Amino acid sequence: MKTPAIPSKFPFVFDVLHNSSESLVASGNYQTKIGKGIILKTLSKLVAMPPSVGASSFRLIVDRSGKREKWTRFFQNKKFVTRVRKDDLTMTESLGIFSFKMEIEIISTDTMLYNFIDLKVLGVKLPKWLSISTTGKCIQINNEEWSFNINVIAPTGHSIINYWGRSALGQ
119-165 residue pLDDT tens? 899 999 988 887 777 888 888 898 889 999 988 888 888 888 888 99
171 pLDDT tier (thresholds 50, 70, 90): low
**70 forms bridges with which residues in the sheet?**
63, 83
Residue 5 has pLDDT above 50, yes or no: no
72-88 residue pLDDT tens? 988 877 888 999 998 77
8-67 residue pLDDT tens? 566 677 777 777 778 889 999 988 888 787 876 776 676 666 666 678 888 999 998 877
Phi, psi angles (nearest 5°) of residue 49: -80, 155
Listed in sequence order, the residues at least 6 apart from 44 whose beta carbon sits closer than 8 Å to its beta carbon are: 34, 35, 152, 160, 161
Domains and CATH numbers, the chain: 7-20+34-169 (2.40.128)
97-113 residue pLDDT tens? 889 898 888 877 778 88
b/e 49-65 (16+ beta carbons within 10 angstroms → b)? bbeeeeeeebbbbbeee
Whether pTM exceeds 0.85: no
99 closest CA partner among 148, 136, 134, 137: 134
Distance CA 93, CA 119 (A): 10
